[in-house]
Amino acid sequence: MGRVYDGIDEPLARFISRQHVFFVATAPLAGDGLVNLSPKGQDGTFAVLDRSTFAYLDLVGSGIETVAHLRENGRIVVMFCAFEGPPRIVRLHGRGDVVAPGDPEWDSLADLFPARPGRRAVVRVAVERVADSCGYGVPLMRVEGERTRLAEWAEDKGEEGLAEYVAANNSESLDGLPGLA
């Protein structure tokens, strides 16, 4: 059954590195605000930095909920599920911040990840709680491969087109919280 860990140890880091998808959940402070849950998972976009810190590369998408919620209150949980092999779920709770292009730490954090079209930000999280659970209810599934459409779309838009898209679609969350300028 479930166990709480004092950080992201090496066996947990290996488990995380083998997963093809992870889920990010955040919420605004307002009680009537929308909770957000986003799937992520392009290869190479998640990095364990040390036992108490991880980061992931945030790519341009249709919404900006995670970024807006983190800028408002920092609360985040990331969940990994084993869809192959032994059943297991790992949750990383913490406080996150957003590092965007132009921020002083952008280059050092962005360099942790492969260059991808549509890089929007790096989400960095200070881990407060690490726990796992059985995962017996998670189905077994096989990965066929990565989808290429997001990268193709970003490449087609080009840098200027992506900047225009972010300005038009990622400046505020569904609840009206500030996103990216």
Could you state, in order of their start, the residue ranges of all structural domains in the chain?
Answer: 3-169
Task: Please enumerate, as own/partner, the contacts of 96-101 that have beta carbons within 8 Å and a separation of 24 or more.
Answer: 96/70, 96/123, 96/124, 96/125, 96/126, 97/70, 97/123, 97/124, 98/58, 98/67, 98/70, 98/71, 98/122, 98/123, 98/124, 99/123, 99/124, 100/180
pLDDT tens-place string over residues 19-56: 999 999 999 999 999 999 999 988 999 999 999 999 99
pTM as predicted: 0.96
Tell me how many degrees the CA angle 58-60-62 measures, rounded to the nearest 5. Answer: 120
pLDDT tens-place string over residues 101-138: 999 999 999 999 999 999 999 999 999 999 999 999 99
User: Which amino acid, residue 157?
Assistant: K
Q: Over pLDDT 70: what percentage of the chain?
A: 99
pLDDT at 181: 80
Q: What is the CATH number of domain 3-169?
A: 2.30.110.10
pLDDT beyond 70 at 1: no
pLDDT beyond 90 at 62: no
